[in-house]
Chains A and B, each alone.
Chain A
Amino acid sequence: MKKTTSLIIVMLLSIGIFSSCRRQQQTAAGSVYYLNFKPEQDAAWQELAREYTEETGVQVTVLTASEGNYEATLTSEIGKNDPPTLFQVNGPVGLQNWKNYCYDLSSSAVYSELTDKNFALTENNMVYGIAYVIETYGIIYNKTLLNKYFASTFSTIKSVDEINGFDSFATVVREIQANKESLGVSGAFTSAGMDSSSDWRFKTHLANMPIYYEYKDENITSTSAIKGTYLDNYKQIWDLYIENATVPKTAIATKTATDAQTEFKTGRAVFYQNGTWEYSNCKFDPASGEGLLDAEFGMLPIYIGAPGEENQGLCTGSENYWCVNKNASPEDIEATLQFINWVVTSDTGTESLAEDMNFVSPFKNAESADNPLVDIANEYIEDGKISVSWNFSTIPSDAWKNGVGTALTQYAAGSGSWESVRKAFVEGWASEYAAANR
């Protein structure tokens, strides 16, 4: 008898232990579980989820993966009993991993809200993902400092309108670097940090330039083998970055994103390759007295010396696509679809997207984002400049990016050759593409 009693106690104890691990039980109406990619917007999403629950009574859980760990977090979360109902992929290559988990969104309300159907990830007439934020990057500059350069005696270029290609841009950069003391800066560019917090600016975003021009020449949108036609241009712009920066080129290996950000914020550098998302990090902060006023932000296209680049605009695209988990229960799928539709149509949702998250969203009801860098991006489009598309989403794997990044670092430090960069770029593409598409 006692044996049975103790056995029962043991059973009950263990059940207690394991059931407490489960997430809060869902209501019959279905619930939403969003695995968010962007840590900087976590607070805004939590707030939005809370408001939605208040308004409708539907439970919305938002979990944010730590920086650089989205794929690992998604892998473990999606295998659980309560998987995310809403997650995201970064483009066509990222989609290949998760295609079998994606619900077809072609008949969803949120798809019909898109202003341009090109902002959806489609394959064989199935809509797998919907971009919810459109971003732009280029070379952000400090207008006050650049105007100081234009006004000085040593400058050969006198206005930002004269910068319309690699040569004129390089002249400005080199003259600033040569006269950095008289301008009161430590260098023309911020440090091109190759720490993992910052290296994506070069191994991914800058690498997009040679890929974009090659795709344009070949009239393709993706490839199994890149030729590297514009690699010399890639070298040219990389040399410009590392030779005219706040730090010697041998020091960039461990420089972080925060290093570059601080240099730009405190006016120690004029140019900073980054995007619209960086506004909230660099804007004037009264508490510390650091940062740029809205009127001080400027942004230039990344000129690499390719033909026809006088008409080139900024790099605009998305690597944030919402996907709905096909394997979630029908109620949860329905709840999720309603939630994202509410986010992009309701006043609360659109305001949060535009003002709290500073997002440019490609939806009909979207409000304009509170972000001077976005305004600059729109001006380029109004001026008829051709936006550079985000072709880095067709890069075959992260291993390719890491290989190119490592080679770039060692080239800068002098312990590696440009030939290694070329090999990692061209041959690495072919072998990574083959490995990922067996």
Chain B
Amino acid sequence: MKRLLSRWFPIFFLPTALSFIIGFLYPFISGIYLSFCSFITTSDATFIGIENYKAVFSDPSFLYSFLFTIAFALVSVVLINLIAFMIAYALTSGIRGANLFRTVFFMPNLIGGIVLGYIWQLIFDGILSRYGTSISLNPTYGFWGLIILMCWQQIGYMMIIYIAGLQSVPEDIYEAARIDGAGKWQILKKVTVPMVMPSITICTFLTLTNSFKLFDQNLSLTAGQPGTVGAGGRTVYLTEMLALNIYNTFYRNNNTRGIGQAKAVIFFLIVTVIALSQLYFTRRKEVQQ
């Protein structure tokens, strides 16, 4: 068996490895290189050192969108996981029609981000226009609009993961807890939550990285609007998240592509650090089954 595996190993491994190198590793490394360059097309770039990084840190819109993204990530991670867990808990406690509800809750996840953004824009503006305003006129509406949209889209997916986690908890542990005289609340806190910790890890990881990388929904729901005109007559867009900020920087003028690229590298580092430290902290809470 082992010999057979090693003989056929290249046929399975090489195409994947090749795709990985061409589709991920090479663009990633050339992306890092380009962040030190001035360029219009990626094939002819001139090396200019750390100029791009200097420009990033003197750009007020980058810091603003960074803070906006953090606020968004915090609120959406908490809300999505809390609600998804509650729904999963309810649907595994044997209520009627649980299968139907599961399907219904999961369905929003099947719709693409851009379409969702436009649909919700119609819904929000349909309501807000009665009050003479719009989602693209008020950053508070924009923020909560994004939160509602992301909750609606992601709760179903996280719910499925939590349901799988809840169902894998062996019944005898519950039984033992009940015999020991534990109440419902105590069982939830001392048995269920520690036992589904792996699901919590994966769900917080997914929601956290999704929130940071959010682009389509942001673009189609608010496109960063509204904005305030700041120093030098430059507009800072008040609902522009990191990914959209990078995109807009890239196409701002013929000198800013490198700056956009530098922002993307910084963005990568931020997401990696945050995601890895989250994994580290939630993993420590997991128990051995």
Contact = CB atoms under 8 A, between A and B. Distances in A.
B11 A424 contact: no
Interface stretch (B153-161, B187-195, B209-217, B223-231): B223-231
B228 A420 contact: yes
B277 interface: no
The range of chain A's interface size is 35 or more
Given A7-B10, A14-B18, A426 B125 contact: no
Contact of B136 (A79, A253, A399): A253
A415 B137 contact: yes
Contact of B229 (A96, A250, A420, A436): A420
Contacts of A428: 229, 232-235
Interface in B137-159: 137-138
A75 B43 CA distance: 10
Interface stretch (A133-141, A164-172, A403-411): A403-411
Contacts of B129: 251
Interface in A1-56: 2-3, 6-7, 9-10, 13-14, 17-18
Contacts of B41: 75, 78-79
B252 interface: yes
Nearest to A250: B132
A239 interface: no
A331 B248 CA distance: 37
B251 interface: yes
Interface string B250-264: 011111100000000
Interface string B1-40: 0000001101100110010001000000000000000001
Contacts of A61: none
A364 interface: no
A430 B138 contact: no
A370 interface: no
B133 interface: yes
Contact of B226 (A78, A96, A248, A415): A415
Nearest to B44: A100
Nearest to A98: B40
Query: Which of under 10, 10 to 19, 20 to 34, or 35 or more describes the interface residues of B?
Result: 35 or more
B253 A435 contact: yes
A431 interface: yes
Contact of A97 (B40, B136, B223): B40
A75 B227 CA distance: 27
A428 B125 CA distance: 30
A428 to B, nearest CB: 3
A407 B235 contact: yes
Nearest to B18: A14
Interface string A68-110: 0001100100110000000000000000111010000000000
A254 B226 contact: no
A368 interface: no
B42 interface: yes
A402 interface: yes
B225 A253 contact: yes
Given A2-B7, A254-B125, A420-B228, A71 B251 contact: yes
A3 to B, nearest CB: 7
B133 A403 contact: no
A424 B233 contact: yes
Given A75-B40, A415-B226, A425 B233 contact: yes
Contacts of A420: 228-229
A280 interface: no
Nearest to B228: A420
Interface in A226-258: 248, 250-251, 253-254
Q: Considering residues B7, B42, B251, which has the most beta carbons from chain A within 10 angstroms of its beta carbon?
A: B251
A13 B15 contact: yes
B196 to A, nearest CB: 41
A75 B254 CA distance: 11
B134 to A, nearest CB: 4
A14 B15 contact: yes
Contacts of A79: 41-43
B158 to A, nearest CB: 31
9 contacts: A3-B10, A9-B11, A14-B18, A250-B134, A251-B132, A253-B137, A397-B253, A409-B225, A428-B235
Given A71-B251, A403-B233, A410-B227, 15 more contacts: A6-B8, A10-B15, A78-B41, A399-B248, A406-B225, A409-B226, A415-B138, A415-B226, A423-B229, A426-B233, A428-B232, A428-B234, A430-B232, A432-B233, A435-B256
